[in-house]
Amino acid sequence: MRRSWIFFKVRMLQLKSDKSALFFCYGLPVLLLLCIGYPLQMKGVPKIAVFYTAAAQDSSGQALVDYLRQLPLLKVQPYLDGKKPARDALASNDIKHYLDIRASDPGLYSNSLPENQIENVALQSMVEAYLGRDGHSELITQTVTSEKATSYLVTLLPGLIGMTLLIIGLGGFGAVLIAEKQHGLYKNIKTIDVSPAPFLAGLFVSRLLVSYSVAVALFTLAVFVFGISVHVNYLLLGVVITLGCMAFLGIGLLLSTISPSVSAFNGIVNLVQMPLVVLGGVFFSINTFPSWLQTIANLLPLTQLNTAVRSILFESVGFENMSQLYPQIASLAVWGALTLAVARLKFRW
């Protein structure tokens, strides 16, 4: 019993002297709770987004809009996209509900995706309740067929690809390099006067190939299970994924250069990884965040990668209209170049 007590005190003294372990035991859970809970809380009360015709509406049409705006479950806003007709926006799943306010009978057009069916019925009931209470004209309803993937799949698939590449990138260097350093491999390599560049390049390319294989596997699964289109620009997709992998591997290498041990590295990776996943739009759209938090999220490499992959997979972006991806490509390139350059400067045998 006495010996157990002595060893217990020794372990407690070790824990007391290991400040990084104390932080990851107590500080990290608190930070994770804040990072995950706060953005989710910001989502607020869910509302049905309804767009309506802004031009050529009479007083009765304006009265209908004013009534709908008073309902707590609706978010009513004018449709202002002059380049894309509202029905085309419904078919592409850019919007879900459109109210055409005309002098005669108003028309309600809704997206046909199964995920919108409950909203369609609820919205139709709300509009008909207003039109029927004072003997107004009858509501004309129509469902616009959409062949697009569900909104959740559009968010989830690029998010899962990006999150997996992030995990591979952050963990791909650190634990291996730190363990090899602790086992004396660096000292042996240093004796033969070898530059770190080829040593790191070999590890970098191996992790890059793993990342490619994972991205291909997830995409293939989505094609056969969820039926997404195979007609995408694979070359452009490969360029974007490569830039994303470079950014994540650069961050992982940089973290390994500042980590004194494998346990410390794992804790630092968790500290960096969780906010990136939460704010990167992996499981839900960042559009639910307040504007200031969206600004922060858009600076992160995972957000930029997810946005670019989503545009290529679901919005048919290719080389002919790749100008839409210039901000994402530039951001990923800067992240990759800076992190790899700084990590190479800090790396020592």
- DSSP string of 101-148? --SSS-EEEEE--GGGHHHHHHHHHHHHHHHHHTT-PPPEEEEEP--S
Q: Residue 292, class by beta-carbon neighbours within 10 Å (0-12 exposed, 13-18 middle, 19+ buried)?
A: exposed
pLDDT grade for 170, boundaries at 50, 70 and 90: confident
Question: Can you tell me the mean pLDDT for 56-65?
Answer: 72
- DSSP letter for 24, please: I
Q: Which of 244, 233, 260, 299 is nearest to 178 (CA)?
A: 260
pLDDT at 302: 94
The pLDDT tens digits of the residues spanning 293-328 come to 888 889 999 999 999 998 898 888 888 888 889 999
The DSSP element (H or E) to which 51 belongs, if any, is strand 48-53
Residues of the chain by 3-state class (helix, strand, coil), percent to 5? 70, 5, 25
Q: Kindly report, residue by residue over 282-291, the tens digit of the pLDDT.
A: 877 777 777 8
Tokens of 266: 């794992």
Integer Cα distance of 178 and 188 in angstroms: 15
Which of 25-39, 128-142, 196-210 is most confident? 196-210
Predicted confidence at residue 338, as pLDDT, reads 94
pLDDT of residue 168: 84
Return d(Cα 116, Cα 111) in angstroms, integer: 7
Per-residue exposure over 263-281, b if at least 16 CB sit within 10 Å of its own CB, e if not: ebbbbbbebbbebbbbbbb
Structure confidence at residue 140 (pLDDT):
78
Contact at 8 Å (CB) between 286 and 159?
no
The CATH class of the 48-144 domain is alpha beta
Q: What is the mean pLDDT of residues 182-197?
A: 68
Kindly list the domain boundaries of the chain, sorted by start residue.
48-144, 151-346
pTM: 0.67
The CA-based dihedral angle spanning residues 57, 61, 67, 71, taken in that order and rounded to the nearest 10 degrees: -70
